């Protein structure tokens, strides 16, 4: 009797952080509900190990994904689960992203242990964040706010908040609610002003291109969320054309509409002085091209000069 590929246990590669485990468990539950067998395999990445440097200083692409991709290649796991936001814009040719799980609310939020904490335009608060996008947007919209590095997993960052290394902490709502810290949210940024990073709030599933086709299809059917996938194609098309890597303050958010798809995206200079932001609409079938065209437009509006100056500043540092 031929061996049935769907009887095989799907080994799920994941980082060991609590959020990563939550995401991997969410994928495992859905696979099990579809009748598939699963097992979690915890893999530590450079982004988990190097905690004393900001991500733009660790520098290389795929700080949260590389070791997972090696395990896919070596056949140690069948799939890898990532925060979609942490996945580099171009995947190596022997690997592929087969599914994007249903997206959580996409907004950035502020957490504080002081329930009376209010963020206002003139606020002088010190806010923990290590994201260049969040820092630059805060400079633009909240010019008196200062920021402090807050690398590390969510638990580490909350400890820094507890130790009063800063007054408040800025994070993605998705991770906060998944960890059950939403009771600490004191401010939610509107997504048209603080446009999230491409992929924020969604979970991406990666596998080797040569994974058994029947198994691949079953995984896709169990995990993929069509509207999220379409949005992510547009956002990742934008990101790829922007060619910035994860430490560039670019942003992109696509949503499906009655007519098709809408994507808002752009780029901000590190000092917050120059903001380029546009919204494009098109058909869902051409989602990827729409994101690419948006990026080309932003680059043409002066985005290329912003990128150049960011790269020059970085090589000086
Ligand atoms: N590398 C950080 C990272 N990657 C994914 C999330 C949050 C959850 C998500 O956006 O899916 C975070 C933390 C944050 O930005 O607050």
The long-range contacts involving 63-72, CB below 8 angstroms and separated by at least 24 positions, are: 63/246, 64/15, 65/206, 67/43, 68/13, 68/14, 68/15, 68/43, 68/206, 69/95, 69/206, 71/13, 71/41, 71/43, 72/13, 72/206, 72/207, 72/208
**What's the CATH number where 267 sits?**
3.30.160.40
195 inside domain: no
Q: Is the CB of 83 under 6 A from ligand 1?
A: yes
Nearest atom in ligand 1 to 106's CA: 10
How far, CA to CA in Å, does 8 sit from each of 39, 77, 222?
Answer: 11, 12, 15
Distance (Å) from CA 92 to ligand 1 centroid: 22
Residues 206 and 82 in one domain: yes
230 inside domain: no
Q: Is the CB of 109 under 6 A from ligand 1?
A: no
- Of 12, 93, 46, 13, whose CA–CA distance to 246 is shortest? 46
**Banded pLDDT at 151 (limits 50, 70, 90):** confident
Q: Is the CB of 174 under 6 A from ligand 1?
A: yes
- Domain count of the chain? 3
Distance (Å) from CA 174 to ligand 1 centroid: 7
% of the chain at pLDDT higher than 90: 86
Residues 73 and 212 in one domain: yes
Average pLDDT, the chain: 94
Residues 113 and 255 in one domain: no
- Phi first, then psi, for residue 130 (nearest 5°) are -115, 5
Residues 218 and 243 in one domain: no
Residue 55 has pLDDT above 80, yes or no: no
User: Mind listing the pLDDT tens digit for each residue in 101-141?
Assistant: 999 999 999 999 999 999 999 999 999 998 999 999 999 99
Pocket probe mutation, ligand 1, options 24, 173, 175, 252, max atoms within 8 Å of Cβ: 175
Cα distance between residue 309 and residue 263, in whole Å = 26
45 inside domain: yes
271 inside domain: yes
**What's the CATH number where 137 sits?**
3.40.190.10
Distance (Å) from CA 292 to ligand 1 centroid: 23
14 inside domain: yes
Mean pLDDT of 276-282: 98
Residue 213 has pLDDT above 50, yes or no: yes
Beta strands in 184-260 (DSSP E): 185-188, 203-208, 250-256
Q: Which residues touch 70 (CB under 8 Å, ≥6 apart)?
A: none
Q: Is the CB of 171 under 6 A from ligand 1?
A: yes
Residues 152 and 209 in one domain: no
Q: Which residues touch 298 (CB under 8 Å, ≥6 apart)?
A: 242, 250, 265, 266, 267, 276, 277, 278
Q: Which residues touch 133 (CB under 8 Å, ≥6 apart)?
A: 197, 249, 250, 251, 268
pTM here is 0.95
229 inside domain: no
Supply the residue whose CA is at minimum distance from atom 5 of ligand 1.
Answer: 83
**Banded pLDDT at 1 (limits 50, 70, 90):** very low
Residues 62 and 209 in one domain: yes
Supply the residue whose CA is at minimum distance from atom 9 of ligand 1.
Answer: 201
Nearest atom in ligand 1 to 23's CA: 11
% of the chain at pLDDT higher than 70: 94
Residues 112 and 160 in one domain: yes
233 inside domain: no
Task: Please write down the HEC assignment for all residues of 168-193.
Answer: EEEEEHHHHHHHCCHHHEEEECCCCC
232 inside domain: no
Distance (Å) from CA 20 to ligand 1 centroid: 10
Among the candidates 161, 188, 215, a domain finishes at 188
Task: Provide the residue range defining the domain that includes 260.
Answer: 238-309
Residues 112 and 94 in one domain: no
Cα distance between residue 298 and residue 275, in whole Å = 10
Residues 150 and 212 in one domain: no
**Residue 188, both tokens:** 């939610």
Residue 315 has pLDDT above 50, yes or no: yes
Residues 211 and 98 in one domain: yes
Mean pLDDT of 185-198: 98
Q: Is the CB of 86 under 6 A from ligand 1?
A: yes
Cα distance between residue 26 and residue 41, in whole Å = 14
Q: ipTM beyond 0.95? A: yes
Residues 41 and 66 in one domain: yes
Residues 269 and 131 in one domain: no
Question: Which residues are annotated as catalytic?
Answer: 86
């Amino acid at each position: 009797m031929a061996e049935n590929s769907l009887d095989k246990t799907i080994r799920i590669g994941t980082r060991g952080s609590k959020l990563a485990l939550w995401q991997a468990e969410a994928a495992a539950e859905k696979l099990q509900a579809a009748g598939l067998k699963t097992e979690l395999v915890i893999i530590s990445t450079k982004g988990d190990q190097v905690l004393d440097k900001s991500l733009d200083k660790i520098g290389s692409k795929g700080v949260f994904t590389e070791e997972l991709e090696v395990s896919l290649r070596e056949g140690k796991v069948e799939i890898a689960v990532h925060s979609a936001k942490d996945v580099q814009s171009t995947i190596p040719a022997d690997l592929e992203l087969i599914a994007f799980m249903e997206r959580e609310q996409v907004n950035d939020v502020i957490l504080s242990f002081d329930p009376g904490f209010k963020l206002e335009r003139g606020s002088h608060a010190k806010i923990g964040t290590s994201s260049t996008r969040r820092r630059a947007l805060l400079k633009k919209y909240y010019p008196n706010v200062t920021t402090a590095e807050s690398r590390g997993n969510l638990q580490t960052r909350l400890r820094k908040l507890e130790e009063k290394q800063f007054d408040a902490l800025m994070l993605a709502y998705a991770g906060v609610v998944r960890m059950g810290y939403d009771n600490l949210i004191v401010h939610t940024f509107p997504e048209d002003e603080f446009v999230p990073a491409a992929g924020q709030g969604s979970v991406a599933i990666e596998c080797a291109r040569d994974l058994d086709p029947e198994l691949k299809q079953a995984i896709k059917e169990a995990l993929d969320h069509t509207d999220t996938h379409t949005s992510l194609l547009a956002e990742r098309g934008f990101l790829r054309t922007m060619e910035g890597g994860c430490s560039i303050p670019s942003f992109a958010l696509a949503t499906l509409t009655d007519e098709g798809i809408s994507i808002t995206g752009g780029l901000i200079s590190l000092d917050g002085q120059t903001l380029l932001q546009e919204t494009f609409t098109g058909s869902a079938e051409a989602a990827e091209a729409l994101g690419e065209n948006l990026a080309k437009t932003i680059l043409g509006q002066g985005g290329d000069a912003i990128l150049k100056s960011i790269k020059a500043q970085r090589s000086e540092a």
